[in-house]
Amino acid sequence: MYDLPPLARFGGLVATGLREVTSDPAALDSEGFWAVVADFEGGLVCARFEDVRPEPVPAPGRWRGPAPEDWTSSLDRAAYTEGVRRIRRRIAAGEVYQANLCRVLTAPLPDPDRADVDQLSALLALGNPAPYAGTVRLPDHGVEVATASPELFLRRAGRTVESGPIKGTGREAADLLEKDHAENVMIVDLVRNDLGRVCATGSVTVPALCAIEEHPGLVHLVSTVRGELAAGAGWPELFAAAFPPGSVTGAPKSSALRVIEELETAPRGPYCGGVGWVDADRGTGELAVGIRTFWIDRAAAGGPVLRFGTGAGITWGSDPEREWDETELKAARLLSVASGAPQPTGGTAR
């Protein structure tokens, strides 16, 4: 295997010099700079680094990615659209109001011994820039993640916490439907409830509701939920209250998770989990929802593979074919970037 030292890269900073790795979220309230990767299924890796310095994302170099046609999906079109129909039946029966249905795409790595997620991040920075982009490279711990996430899961500054759920996606603002706005409001209510479990009574507010954000090739509806942590609450309590992110589960969250377990055929891993950093010395941190996220799985049967997830929120107003098309829209540009194909900065996803 190509020798890859541990590294994390977020927001113009690079962290090197690995000091320790733990699965205990309480470490994030101790000291030092931590990179964090939380799997959707509950696995948590927190890595403390010694050296943190400003450094721009490097120019792409070594990365060789799969061709767009090499990817296979955990759910094909027929299975996915049937899943949408089954969720709509659950909604009609009153079991759930909304559920996020996802599929995991997998492709063999053409040159696994030289595959470096930091180089993939460099490609993503050029072809699909994102506000919460980052890299976590811990090969000895089975974590090699490159994210181009547009979505804030949790931001913390002292006692103030904030979440930025995304619900509603289209090629342009005119594509967004009443269903998209209803879905966003539904998830905002869920996130308010999640943060309310660990925030001081009356402190949870919604400074922005259903704002339109433009990203390469598509637009999103984004809301902001903010609160003040209650006395005694820290990162462990935040994770317990808010994980997994509401925007990629559904409402009610417990019911949606049961539907997800029944319909999805592959674990999501870091996709739809949390990826980011925590500076325990300053009491700050920023975790993205692990969407638009690639990860290398070197333990896969048949050899190392690259994985990527895509999905859509399903409500009673969902059309199965339209929801499949939304998952295709979200994936197309990113898979093209990961293949190494040149991308226009403001191009349109297909």
Q: State the CATH number of the domain containing residue 241.
A: 3.60.120.10
Domain assignment present for residue 61? The answer is: no
Burial class (CB within 10 angstroms; exposed 0-12, middle 13-18, buried 19+) of 195: buried
Q: How many domains does the chain have?
A: 1
Catalytic residue numbers read 151, 167
Domain assignment present for residue 110? The answer is: yes
Domain assignment present for residue 66? The answer is: no
Count Cα atoms within 13 angstroms, Cβ side, for 211.
14
Domain assignment present for residue 347? The answer is: no
Query: Residue 201 carries which side chain, given as an amino acid letter?
Result: T
Domain assignment present for residue 114? The answer is: yes
> Range of 128's domain?
7-56+74-339
This prediction's pTM: 0.94
Alpha helices in the chain (DSSP H): 77-92, 117-127, 178-196, 235-242, 253-263, 320-339
Using CA atoms, how far residue 229 sits from 166, 192, 273, in Å, is: 22, 13, 22
CA dist., res. 105 & res. 334, Å (int): 12
Residue 108, preceding bond cis, omega within 30 degrees? Answer: no
CB of 339 within 8 A of CB of 66? yes
Domain assignment present for residue 345? The answer is: no
In tens digits, the chain (350 residues) has pLDDT values of 468 899 999 999 999 999 999 999 999 999 999 999 999 999 999 999 999 999 998 888 878 999 989 999 999 999 999 999 999 999 999 999 999 999 999 999 999 998 999 999 999 999 999 999 999 999 999 999 999 999 999 999 999 999 999 988 888 999 988 888 988 999 999 999 999 999 999 999 999 999 999 988 889 999 999 999 999 999 999 999 999 999 999 999 999 999 999 999 999 999 999 999 999 999 999 999 999 999 999 999 999 999 999 999 999 989 999 999 999 999 999 999 999 866 554 432 32
Domain assignment present for residue 331? The answer is: yes
Domain assignment present for residue 346? The answer is: no
